[in-house]
A = this chain, B = another copy of it.
Amino acid sequence: MLENYSPKIRKALKGIKIGDRISITKGKKKYEGLLMPRTETGDSNCIVLKLDNGYNIGVRSEGKIKIEKSKKPEPKEIKEELEFELGKEKFKKIKFDPKKPKVSLIMTGGTIISKVDYKTGGVRALEKPEELLTNIPELRDIANMKDILSPFKKMSEDLNYKDWQILAKLTAKELNKNQGVIITQGTDTLHFTSAVLSFMLKNLYKPVVFTASQRSSDRGSTDAFMNLICSAHTAVSDIGEVGVCMHATTDDHYCFLIRGTKVRKMHSTRRDAFRSINEIPLAKIWPNGKIDILNENYKKRKDEKVVADIKFEPKVALLKAYPGSEPEILEFLVKKGYKGFVIEGTGMGHVPTRAEKTWIPTIKKLIKDGIPVVIAPQTIYGRINTNVYSYLRVLFHEAKAIPAEDMLPETAYLKLGWVLGHTKNLEKVREMMLTNIAGEITKRTELDTFLV
């Protein structure tokens, strides 16, 4: 475990091992704490200590330094924290209260079940996802979460339609015996999974709560605990929809519950990265259990049997139209067996038209051949308009492209895959794409939904 320290440091640390309490005297200063492992990167002459306040500091070895084993015993909680960071902690068995409402927890992968890897400075998966729960005793007061399932462990960028089908089937099964389901995965594609499950779970009137974390649970700034606590409150609430429950702000105040088809990861790292697009979030969920409904337009819990309707056509592509883009990709993908396209158009839905490489004839031909082409808003916020400009009228009324209305491009992509799983009839596809199925199309956008 001393492997990333320089030979000089390793020599000075002879007889001392990771986790030992030591003191370092450097000039007039004395540092005391537990010796920590180093990451592969950074200054290998810098000794990492965990102080009694829980923080880690680096003490650079330069000039004269003296290192000794400390005689003072360390505080118990610090020892425990170190063991957790080193992955050595002994887990208490989790006891749930059988009188609480039953909620199933489906865990698949991602930062929420990871911890910092001191070897690389990166993160690695917890060996047992249940480890996480032992650190959140609050959950036991909310729900009986003894049904913990882990159908697969994958990074979220690697999920595909087969994983979504597994999740939908498992979720339906769990929902039909318990009060709600919480699903955790990596944040990157959380909004893809929440959208596709919104379509796959038919006759849904119970909460399906997606959550995740942007910072692993072994970091002081982790969002995992509050997100899981708020998700548990949501899972026993009266909101019978698929939603994403994540930090609303950078503080640990409350979470937003956002409809599964209207949510997007809008920042690579912030804890409040998930935002509601083109409608206000369904609710504020406070860690103490208070739920402030923000959007009255939600489905209420009912005791109905949910059905997993998982037919899905994976040969759908999500592409971008932009100045300089060429439509020949479409024809190439059709030859490769693709059955439908979602194109992110500019502004209200434009594609290059009078440009050197014009898109409309290609789109028109594909649609004539029975392959649906949906145009979604590249601006993310806002909606497609099929009338304002003359080439919008040509694209939508003459070539018969399908407007995604105010659907997110990602949601339109998953909806089209799901619709094509059910029918290849173009008129039927158009009708289903233009019909609101799971809150993905909002007829009128309220003014206060931009960048909130």
Q: Which residues of A contact B (CB under 8 A)?
A: 41, 120-124, 154-161, 186-189, 192-193, 250, 265-270, 272-273, 275, 314, 316-325, 328-329, 332-333, 336, 344-356, 377, 379-385, 387-393, 410, 413, 417, 447, 450-452
Contacts and interface: CB of A to CB of B under 8 A. Distances in A.
Contacts of A120: 387, 390, 393
B323 A333 contact: no
B346 A122 contact: no
Given A269-B385, A382-B267, A451-B451, A354 B390 contact: no
A184 to B, nearest CB: 15
A2 B135 CA distance: 74
A319 to B, nearest CB: 7
A452 to B, nearest CB: 7
A122 B353 CA distance: 17
A155 B391 contact: yes
A450 B268 CA distance: 11
A393 to B, nearest CB: 7
B188 A346 contact: yes
A360 B321 CA distance: 24
Contacts of A417: 324
**Identical chains bound together, number:** 2
- Most chain B beta carbons < 10 A, residue from A157, A353, A354: A157
Contacts of A157: 321, 323, 345-347, 350-353, 355, 391
A359 B388 CA distance: 39
Contact of A324 (B41, B124, B314, B393): B314
A325 B329 contact: no
Contact of A322 (B122, B192, B269, B347): B192
B393 A122 contact: yes
Contacts of A328: 336
Nearest to A124: B390
B379 A265 contact: yes
Given A157-B350, A354-B155, A270 B323 contact: no
A267 B450 contact: yes
Given A157-B355, A333-B329, A379-B266, A122 B324 contact: no
12 contacts: A41-B387, A120-B387, A120-B390, A158-B352, A158-B355, A250-B447, A267-B381, A269-B385, A273-B382, A319-B319, A320-B320, A322-B410
A33 to B, nearest CB: 25
A200 to B, nearest CB: 14
B158 A354 contact: yes
B269 A382 contact: yes
B381 A268 contact: yes
Contact of A266 (B322, B383, B451): B451
A350 B273 contact: no
Given A188-B347, A266-B379, A389-B123, A158 B317 contact: no
Contacts of A267: 379, 381-382, 450
A380 B408 CA distance: 14
Given A155-B391, A336-B328, A355-B160, A346 B189 contact: yes
A123 B388 contact: yes
A265 to B, nearest CB: 5
Nearest to A388: B122
Given A158-B353, A451-B451, A348 B379 contact: no
A320 to B, nearest CB: 6
Given A122-B392, A266-B380, 19 more contacts: A120-B387, A155-B350, A155-B354, A155-B389, A156-B346, A157-B345, A157-B352, A192-B322, A192-B323, A265-B379, A266-B450, A268-B382, A268-B385, A269-B382, A270-B381, A318-B322, A318-B325, A319-B319, A329-B329
A428 to B, nearest CB: 22
A40 to B, nearest CB: 9
- Most chain B beta carbons < 10 A, residue from A187, A189, A267, A323: A323
Contact of A268 (B188, B348, B393): B348
B316 A319 contact: no
Contacts of A158: 323, 352-355
Nearest to A391: B155
